[in-house]
Structures are given as C-alpha cells and as structure tokens.
Chains A and B, each alone.
Chain A
C-alpha cells in the first residue's frame, strides 16, 4: 500500500485536509446526537395508549339556560346515540388519554397517609366505558350499571369500586393481589379495586407515570357539560361522527355540541411537537450530509484538477487506472478517519452538554461507531466521481507542456 506518498501529498495541502476533516467531525457530532433525539422521540410516539384509537371519538355537550337537566339529557343522549347506525358502544367520561386535560388525584393505601402512594389520572366514567374505550380487562370485572354514582358538580366523588391499570396496581401492590384491596382517593372512604386493565394512559403525555390511571364509576356533569365517548364499527368513524352530531342537535337544540374529535386526532396533537422535532432534525441531518458530501466532491475535484500532471506522470510510469482510483479513495479514507476521531470527541461533548442542560439521557455507545461507518461510506461515495475522472487522465498528459 502506497501510504507514504499519500501522506506526504496531504501534508502539502494541510488546510484543505483540516477543512474536510473538521466538516466530517462536526457532521458526525451533529448527526449522532440528532439521530439519538429522533430515536427517543419515535420511542415516545410509539407508546400505546391502551385504548381503541382508530374507531373512537369523543365530544362534549353543554346545555345552557335555566331548567336544563344535564342528567336526563345525558341518559337520553346515550340512548339516541346507541340507535345511530354504525355505533358499537357509547359511554360518558370526564377525559380521554392524550387529551392533556383531566383530573389528577393522589392514591393512598391508608386513609391517613401523609404522602400519597402514587399519582393517578382519575377517569370518571359510566359502566360502558371499559368496553367503549376498548380496554383490555386482565383481571376482575367491569363496572355494573347500579354501581355508577351520581355526584353533584363541586362535590367529591368517593367511588366504592374502582378499576386500575396494571402499572398502577403493581406500584401500589408490588407483591401482586391488588384485586379486592381497598385504597383511598379523594377522602377517607375506601374504594375497592374490582378490576385491572392492561393499560390506559393518562391524559398528560409528559407525565412520568403515564400509565397510572384509575377508572371510577361516577357520573358528574361539569356545570351543564357532559363528555361522551363513541366507538364505531371499523372504518365507519367519520360517517358516524356526522350522523351523531346531527342527531343530537335535533333531539335537543338548547345546547352546544363541542368539536367532535377522534382519538387519532388526539394522538396527532399530543405528539405534534415530537413529530415536528423529528422532521426538523431529519431535515437538518439530510442537509448536513448533502453539504458534507458536496464539500468532499468539490475538494476532491479541485485536487484532481491540481494534480492532473502528476496523475499523468504516474500513469505513464505504469500505474493502472485502479491504482489512481485507489489513491483517491485511500486519501479520502485517511482524511475522513482523522475527522471522525475528532468528531467522536465532539459527539460525546455535545451529548454531555445536553445531559447537563436538559437532563437528557446519555448518547448510547453504538451511535458513534455506526456514524463512523456511515460517514466512511459517504466519503467513499462522494470521492468516487472525481476519482474516476482522475483515473481517466491519459498518460500522454505528462508529456505535454501546457
């Protein structure tokens, strides 16, 4: 391998080498960290909510004026909606996962506990909610219609029975056996755990314990507002949304039907900033790789032009086309490698800064080696064009004087 001549040629154009190396280094540092951030966001966006998202939608109905009987309207609304073709199940709930608005409550094992055992989302639902949300009941039973309490707005709901998520049951009872146990929510009256669902996220996506949720069989209007949840036959959601809105407006005009929103839209909104971050960082990565590749092409082309005579001389002295190709590829490999070593340091420094400033997790070790492979490949591909041009330099050029 003819490393010596390559190195000595490089030493004569140190600045260009440093420039390309620096570019490669910065590219590696940025790409590794940006990819890591993208990976974290994709993981976050991938978290299951535990509820049926494709065929479910929710909306609020607020009555106004004296004499609006929210409870009676709710009962008749549920009946009316059940009759709409395409509706599989309807329920009332105070909130839904990923909506960013809801009731948070402390849950304790003893009535006089000083600090609660866990924080939980508190979903006030009726007896058809588990089915309508499409929750996976993995233990115990669902609520019965007679268990649903009517609570006046402003009063404390103190449910006798509750259903909790598996994550919350394991937090409260690490030994297992949560079913039938009594816990304390809003007051000193105990609530018995009668069911466990596999998963149901809280409304707040930034929550540290996003799967700590509790369902309580309580009907409580917020002023004169109720929130409904509707599950439709697969593929008929949008059509049913229109039909339900129309039907409810017909049966009772003295109210406002809030915007009907599908669970898919809740998901899209909840993760909008994560999605934006991945798109923006993805664009930066792409532009960065393009600029670096073009920079290598530009610099290599310049070197080829500058060394045309030397190349001709080498060819005249017996070097094959392949030897010339290999020369430029090796040269690029050396420069890229030097850049990558510096880049690895920069990548970890950047990661350290992110850890200190934003408490981000540490950059996993494998990002940098993978980045090495990618940038080596990028460099070799970028230099290919100029190198091929170099290999086509005719030996005769060495003998020409101008």
Chain B
C-alpha cells in the first residue's frame, strides 16, 4: 500500500507543478537557512576535546589592580604573570600542567632556495602534548629533561615541515629560528583542531601554531610573546623587570584527573595566593578560577553572538516556511475534496486517506530536504567566503546531513497533519452531489 500511495502522491504532485515547486522551495529554503547556521553554531559550540574536556582546567589568578578589576564584571585576568606561572610549574601539583605563550619568529631555512619567512609558534612544556594530544607523524614530543635543561629542541607542524623538508621525516635535523638552531624532535600530523581552544585569548579562530619550543628555552633566549600582554602598572625597564612584573601574558593549563585532585589543586592555589598576599601582591579579594574547557569557552564567548542571532532568525524563517506549506497543502487537499469523496464512497477508510495524504506530505518533505541539503552546501560555501576565519567550522558532517533530511521530512509531516486531517473529514455524500 505504501508504494501505491507513494505513486499517487508523486502523480498528484506532478499535477500541480507550480504549487508543488512552491512547497518544495519553501521547505528547502527554510531548511537550508536553519541547517547552515545550525551547522556553524554546532561546530563552534561543540566540545573540542570531549574525552577529557572536564579534566583540563584553565588557571586564572587575580593579581590585578586593587582599584580596578581586569573585567568590569569582576572576573580575573585571562592570563597569568611569569612569576606565577613559574611558581605553579615548579610546584607541579596538577597531574599534567603547562604554561604557554604565543610567539612569532623568523625562520631561516638552510636551503637558499626557500626564502626566510615568519612563523607563528607556541612556547610550552612537555605536558602540552600530553594534555592536548596533537597527533605525531614523526618522532615524539620533547621530555621533562629537555624542559629542565632548556634544550634547543623543536616540534614542527605538518605544514612547516612540508615547507622546509618536503614532508620528509626531519627528526634530528636542525632548524634556525631568529638566529638560533633547534633540533627537530617531532613532526605533527594533520591536527584537525576546529578552533584553538587552548588559547582563545589570542583568537580561537586565529591561524594555527606552526611550531612548538620549550618554555624554558624561549625564556633563556628572551623571546617575547607576540600575543596579548596586559599590565596595570608600568613593568620597569628590561627583560628581568618584565619577568618580575605583574603583567599577564602567559596561559596556564592544568589537567586534574579526578574531582578530588581538582579540590586539592583549588586549595593549593588559594594557599599560593594567600602566601603571595603576605608579600604585598594580589591585593584584590581571592578570585581564583579553574574553569574546564567548555566552561572557559563559554566564559570567553567563543560562539559568536552573530551566529546565535542568525540561527534564531533562520529558525523563525523555517517556521514561516512551514506555515506557508500548511496553507498550500490545505489549498491543495481541499481542492481534491471530490476525489477524496469518491475514494471514501468506494470504501477507503479514513485511515487509508490519512496515510495517503501524509505520504504525499512526506514526499514534499523529502524533496524539500534534498533541495535544502544542496542549498545548505551552498550556504556553507557562502559562510566560508564571508567569514574567512570560520573555514574549520563551516562544514557539513554526516550527523548534520542526516539531521537535515530528518528535519525536512518531520517539518513537512508536521505541516501536513492539519490539512490531511481536514481531508479525512470530507463527507462523501456532500462531494458526490452534482
């Protein structure tokens, strides 16, 4: 019976091509608008590291000006000072921990045919790799001993390895950055980060890091961060004064594997700050924070407001398209009252009429879904063109593709319920009179 009704539905849709096209386009547009915005919102807002996002915690301490909070609403600074980062690293109270900062260095290839270029990189501890789990293609991260010995070692990203060594295994080779030679210990594979969640202060959607060098080494070489740096009082002259200052420019992450470890770490931080207060620092009230990955993403509003507003409007648009479809289906089915009356008179039950017209609505939904999927693809191309930084989050995955079709059919069936119900109530006797 299903295939027969399907045939009937298709034939009926062919009979009014204009009306059918109107309905399909309506559903297609509504679905496409909603799915395009929802896809971006979904990828932006979804957990970047779901298997351990609740264990990774972003450390914030409030060393800011006693007269003026860092954020107007009283939230602490989003980065920490060198002094505090050092103290936390030395204490080593977390299961894994890494201070880090962003920098940009000139790369001087040995091969004279490759022009020198600037590369964005990250300065971190060995635990960075254990915490954020970038995939390695060759070699491995440096170890704690390299951190301790301030070794000149480097982990290259896939692209820079491509550029410098043609994608070959470059472990053991040497790379010169800003006049200093570093030994390659590892090369990353394609790291599919949708956004750089470990440093949202310098832009979650900014360009990815191309290399990694040990924190201790970079400090030795007086390599300044090229990311955000904030001071509430002048830092004094020179490198040592800068390291000793209350300027914040370092991101600090701690991995805490259990709730108990988290509690212990919290009280460790409180103790640390209270000790510092005795030295005259940290004059603001105790205001430490240890947000996990998703908490920190929400705090920093990684999901853009524009995207939320667009998604809201797109769904309102979908509702309009649905209301439109209800009207058109109603018009269509009402017109067929005579036909329905005849079928009923010949013995078709209400149920049968109901399923016939619901199937017809479903066919409209399916067609609308296919069109919607196509338009969603176009919509995402448009989003990538309009927002160059959202390249990584404007892609259709299987979940969203399935959801698009399901949503379209569900929407059409929902739209079809009332018109179909009306169609079923047709009195055969009234329709058969001439």
Contact = CB atoms under 8 A, between A and B. Distances in A.
Interface string A30-62: 100110010000000000000000000000001
A182 to B, nearest CB: 17
A299 B67 CA distance: 65
Given A288-B320, A298-B331, A280 B106 contact: no
A373 interface: no
A281 B306 CA distance: 10
Interface stretch (B167-175, B277-285, B311-319): B311-319
A370 interface: no
A400 B172 CA distance: 96
B330 A26 contact: no
B29 A156 contact: no
Given A26-B319, A276-B387, A284-B317, A295 B324 contact: yes
Interface in B115-135: 115-118
B328 A295 contact: yes
A117 interface: no
A66 B323 CA distance: 71
Contact of B386 (A66, A280, A284): A280
Contact of B310 (A27, A186, A281): A281
A277 B306 contact: yes
B234 A306 contact: no
A20 B327 CA distance: 7
Contacts, number: 137
B111 interface: no
Given A156-B237, A284-B317, A272 B388 contact: yes
Given A156-B234, A256-B118, A23 B388 contact: no
18 contacts: A30-B320, A34-B313, A62-B118, A64-B108, A154-B224, A154-B237, A276-B383, A279-B386, A284-B317, A287-B317, A291-B30, A295-B327, A295-B328, A302-B331, A305-B335, A306-B335, A358-B309, A402-B434
A275 B29 CA distance: 22
A114 B65 CA distance: 9
B67 A277 contact: no
Given A37-B309, A65-B179, A275-B386, A187 B331 contact: no
A19 interface: yes
A294 interface: yes
B327 A298 contact: yes
B320 A23 contact: yes
A73 interface: no
B323 A22 contact: yes
B305 A358 contact: yes
B427 interface: no
Contacts of B178: 64, 223
Nearest to B23: A298
A296 B320 CA distance: 12
A29 B106 CA distance: 53
A64 B115 CA distance: 13
Contacts of A294: 22, 26, 324
B320 A354 contact: no
Interface residues of B, number: 54
A302 B334 contact: yes
- Most chain-A CB neighbours within 10 Å: which of B313, B319, B382, B386? B313
A299 B26 CA distance: 14
Contacts of B306: 273, 276-277
Contacts of B116: 64, 255-256
Contacts of A155: 237-238
Contacts of B224: 153-154, 222-223
Given A29-B316, A284-B313, A298-B22, A115 B68 contact: yes
B326 interface: yes
Contacts of B321: 291
Contacts of B324: 19, 23, 291-292, 294-295, 298
Nearest to A114: B67
Interface in B321-344: 321, 323-324, 326-328, 330-331, 334-335
Interface string B407-434: 0000000000010001000000000001
A317 interface: no
B335 A302 contact: yes
B109 to A, nearest CB: 11
Interface residues on A, range: 35 or more
A15 interface: yes
Interface of A: 15-16, 19-20, 22-23, 26-27, 29-30, 33-34, 37, 62, 64-66, 114-115, 152-156, 186-187, 222-223, 255-256, 258, 272-273, 275-277, 279-281, 284, 287-288, 291-292, 294-295, 298-299, 301-302, 305-306, 354, 358, 401-402
A66 B22 contact: no
A371 B33 CA distance: 22
Nearest to B387: A276
A401 B434 contact: yes
A23 B386 contact: no
B236 interface: yes
B33 A284 contact: yes
B235 interface: yes
A294 B224 CA distance: 61
A402 B433 CA distance: 11
Contacts of A287: 29, 33, 317
Contacts of B239: 154
A291 B26 CA distance: 7
Given A15-B330, A26-B319, A358-B309, 14 more contacts: A22-B323, A30-B316, A33-B313, A115-B68, A153-B224, A256-B106, A284-B310, A284-B314, A302-B334, A302-B335, A305-B335, A306-B335, A358-B305, A401-B434
Contacts of A22: 323
B276 interface: no
B265 interface: no
Contacts of A292: 320, 324
Given A114-B67, A295-B328, A27 B320 contact: yes
A186 B33 contact: no
B313 A16 contact: no
Contact of A26 (B108, B242, B316): B316
A23 B326 CA distance: 11
B13 interface: no
Contacts of B313: 30, 33-34, 281, 284
Nearest to B222: A154
